[in-house]
Amino acid sequence: MPSVLPLGDPAPSDGLLPAQAADGAAVRAFGLYVHIPFCAVRCGYCDFNTYTATELGGGASQDAYARTAVSEVALAATVLARSGVPDRKLGTVFFGGGTPTLLPADDLAMILRAAIGQWGIEDGAEVTTEANPDSVTRESLAVLKDAGFTRVSFGMQSAVPHVLKVLDRTHTPSRVPQVVQWAREAGLAVSLDLIYGTPGESLADWRHSLETALSYQPDHISAYALIVEEGTKLAAQMRRGEVPGIDDDDHADKYELADELITEAGLGWYEVSNWARTPEQACRHNLAYWRGDDWWGIGPGAHSHVGGVRWWNVKHPSAYANRLSQGLSPAAGRETLDAETRTLERVMLEARLQSGLEVSTLSPGGRHEVAGLIADGLVDPPAAFRGRLVLTLKGRLLADAVVRRILPD
């Protein structure tokens, strides 16, 4: 089953935001996330809010989804205006899932058109879609490019058949160079998602996946350690001893190898799990999340954030469609973050960025820790001397532990 939503306060049925949301909005960037909650097959490790045709049941249809999402775009514009948030053009748009490209490219184009019609879009804006390598064609990628998409992020995961099998992936390794070529021909920038630490994956397997991914010369790579999410098929397999458990040392070795090979290939890290060929090719939409900018999340289970007000939509596609068809906000709950919580979140997210964190934003206790972190080889000394906390390679391996040390007790 997909993961659960947070608790929080109830959200009003008209979706109106508290006054705090509008404060300073005119100078903050504004982005749009569009969640497409469908997949052809559920991968055994994934607990995202996504549904296969059999899981979906009655009441919600993939065919009607684009129209429902467009109705939330209209509602979003009304809610923001009525809440006093000034009109801003979109700086980034990100279609994620699920598998956005399981919908016809024309449906994704329709949602993007509606959003651009509503808010306008900045020159040079970044417009990304995630895609499963099995769910695009040469033609669909060309339609996306014509509609204004600039970037596609393919779930490659691995180039090794036995690893793809444990992950329940449907694509064969040879599909990836094919779709990368089509995306390039269409004029789209290409990112590849990789996963390391899958049960049964050797270091040599991981090296092969990295070398293969890099041979396609992507503009961007994300490499995430496999997380065993409670309630997934993979977690059950591990509990029953059918597949070996996760080994932290194996993860560390694989992260180091990833950083070494990806850096040698000319890409640079800009967040612990993300590398880009040039700073301009870093994912601006994700950077906006990590820096606490404003974004509206369209779709079931999607999260939004405007000026410290965070809310999330009802999770199931039928409940979502029902709310919107009655003219009601699909928001299920929300929370208004106080200044202290916003600072804490900023520390947790910005510490993971290559641009680092302003040491002066830390509490006195956190600032006091910096010398110890340098002594332990976790924080870069020259950057700290300039007043910024930037992780070393060892620090990136232990990022969560570093963050725990700099947060107030």
Q: Rounded to whole angstroms, what are the CA distances from 266 to 134, 214, 269, 278, 355?
A: 28, 10, 10, 9, 18
Is 155 among the residues that bind ligand SAM (CB under 6 A)?
A: yes
Nearer to ligand SAM, 131 or 379 (CB): 131
Taking the complex as a whole, the smallest distance from the CB of residue 135 to ligand SF4 amounts, in Å, to 8
**Could you tell me which of 2, 3, 4, 5 has the C-alpha nearest to residue 335?**
5
- Which of 11, 17, 32, 46: binder of ligand SAM (CB under 6 A)? 46
- The verdict on 234 binding ligand SF4 (CB under 6 A) reads no
The residue (of 97 and 308) whose beta carbon lies closer to ligand SAM is: 97
Residues in contact with ligand SAM, total (CB under 6 A)? 17
Among 365, 381, 407, 386, smallest CA distance to 395 is for 381
Decide: 301 and 37 in contact? Cβ < 8 Å: yes
| Residue 141 sits in the site that holds ligand SAM (CB under 6 A) | no
198 is a contact residue toward ligand SAM (CB under 6 A): no
Q: Pick from 245, 196, 205: which is nearest to 225 by CA?
A: 196
Q: Does 376 bind ligand SAM (CB under 6 A)?
A: no
The DSSP bridge partners found for residue 268 are 276
Contact between 98 and ligand SF4 by CB under 6 A: the answer reads: yes
Q: 394: buried, middle or exposed (CB in 10 Å: 19+, 13-18, 0-12)?
A: middle
- Concatenating the DSSP letter of every residue in 248-294 gives HHHHHHHHHHHHHHHHHTT-EEEETTEEESSGGGS-HHHHHHHTT-E
Which is closer to ligand SAM, CB of 130 or CB of 259? Answer: 130
Judged by CB under 6 A, does residue 43 bind ligand SF4? yes
Six-digit token string for 211: 């070398």
Separation in Å, CA 233 to CA 26, 47, 78, 229, 355: 45, 9, 41, 9, 37
Q: Is 173 in the site for ligand SAM (CB under 6 A)?
A: no
Q: Closest approach of Cβ 247 to ligand SF4, in Å?
A: 22
Residue from 68, 83, 92, 99 binding ligand SF4 (CB under 6 A): 99
Q: Which does 42 bind (CB under 5 to 8 A by kind): ligand SF4, ligand SAM, none?
A: ligand SF4
Positions touching ligand SF4 (CB under 6 A) are 39, 42-43, 46, 48, 50, 97-99, 132, 155
Positions touching ligand SAM (CB under 6 A) are 45-46, 48, 96-99, 130, 132, 155, 157, 193, 195, 224, 226-227, 229
